[in-house]
Amino acid sequence: MQRPMFGLVHDLTHVCAHDCITEMVLSRHKPHNQPDIYAQYQSIRKHVEQLTTQQIQEIIADNELLMGTEQYPNLLQTDAGEIIKFFYPKNRLSTSTIFPKAKVFADNGVLLRKLQVIAPLTKRVAYCAPRKMYLVVYDRIPGKDLRMWDAEENGVALQGLEKYLAELHRKGVMFRGIHLGNVLMDDTGEYALVDISGLSFKSKPLSLWRRKRNLINLLGVEDDQKILLSYGLSRFVAGYCAAAGLDKSDIAYLNKKLSRRLGQEIDALSPLGLQ
């Protein structure tokens, strides 16, 4: 049952707390070499448009539904090729009450851009209080996600991903929401991330512990098991370790921890893993 007082607290914290805390986080990451992006982003982030139910209905009616239902759309596409992504905050206090996912998504897009990682750069953030939904608008990025690549060209999806993941980790990016549907690749082999609300940043390369956590995030995804297993988990981990420049003791640590967590024998030091 909806509690009005809770609703008020929820909306207020959405507006205030996130801004204060994010401001502190961003001041650490403030880009010096890209003031234009930062300035543009600041104005977008600070201005969450308030939409009425009528306006939301018009947005849904005027754009192509890509995912979700008309009542609860997930993704829409505009005639101009933009994507509109929706977020539905939970009806209970959680971290997303203080850090609304739509705003985190917008923040992460700018931080990733600063690190030269291609990802959606949010042009608009809006909230509809009566429908309790957020939306963000961003441009479609060229390419297809790695699940689509695998469906079209079996075996191609994971080939460059080991190196790309090692590069993200070198830049201090931990994409907790990583799966093969959230990584895009274009025809030239350039990678991009989408669905970027579940990310964290470090100002130095990720520790071995975080690398392990993130490999578990990726290699443990149920929906991608067929693709991952046919490529070979040991092969993937070996490719990742080589790209990340990990030494033998680090690789032995990953072998042990990943094997235990994934319930599969992983040996990235074996000739098979290094194939």
Ligand X SMILES: Nc1ncnc2c1ncn2[C@@H]1O[C@H](COP(=O)(O)OP(=O)(O)OP(=O)(O)O)[C@@H](O)[C@H]1O
Q: In whole angstroms, give the CA distance from residue 146 to residue 164.
A: 13
Q: What value does the CA radius of gyration of the chain take, rounded to a whole number of Å?
A: 20
**Residue 201: strand pairing partners:** 173
With b meaning 16 or more CB within 10 Å and e meaning fewer, what string describes 102-140? Answer: bbbbbbbbbbbbbbebbbbbbeebbbbeebbbbbbbbee
- Of the residues 89, 100, 120, 239, which one makes contact with ligand X according to CB under 6 A: 120
**Antiparallel, parallel or unpaired: β 173-175 and 199-201:** antiparallel
Instruction: Tell me the window of 5-13, 127-135, 180-188, 201-209 that interacts with ligand X (CB under 6 A).
Output: 180-188
Is residue 181 a contact residue for ligand X (CB under 6 A)?
yes
Is residue 184 a contact residue for ligand X (CB under 6 A)?
yes
Which does residue 255 bind out of Mg ion, ligand X, none, counting CB within 5 to 8 angstroms by kind? none
Which does residue 67 bind out of Mg ion, ligand X, none, counting CB within 5 to 8 angstroms by kind? ligand X
Which does residue 165 bind out of Mg ion, ligand X, none, counting CB within 5 to 8 angstroms by kind? none
Specify the DSSP element, H or E, that contains 155. none
CB of 143 to ligand X, least distance (A): 7
CB of 231 to Mg ion, least distance (A): 20
| Shorter beta-carbon distance to ligand X: residue 185 or 243 | 185
| Shorter beta-carbon distance to ligand X: residue 88 or 253 | 88
Please give the biggest Cα pair distance in the chain: 62
CB of 118 to ligand X, least distance (A): 9
Which does residue 83 bind out of Mg ion, ligand X, none, counting CB within 5 to 8 angstroms by kind? ligand X
Distances (CA, A) of 18 to 13, 39, 151, 189, 251: 7, 18, 40, 36, 39
| Shorter beta-carbon distance to ligand X: residue 68 or 205 | 68
Is residue 197 a contact residue for Mg ion (CB under 5 A)?
no
238, two tokens: 């070996």
Is residue 141 a contact residue for ligand X (CB under 6 A)?
yes
Is residue 194 a contact residue for ligand X (CB under 6 A)?
yes
Using CB under 6 A, which residues numbered 24 to 83 contact ligand X?
A: 67, 74-75, 83
**Phi and psi for 87 in degrees, rounded to 5?**
-130, 140
Q: In whole angstroms, give the CA distance from residue 75 to residue 1.
A: 27
Collapsed DSSP state (helix, strand, coil) of residue 98? helix
| Contact residues: Mg ion, CB under 5 A | 181-182, 195
| Contact residues: ligand X, CB under 6 A | 67, 74-75, 83, 85, 120, 138, 140-141, 145, 181-182, 184, 194-195
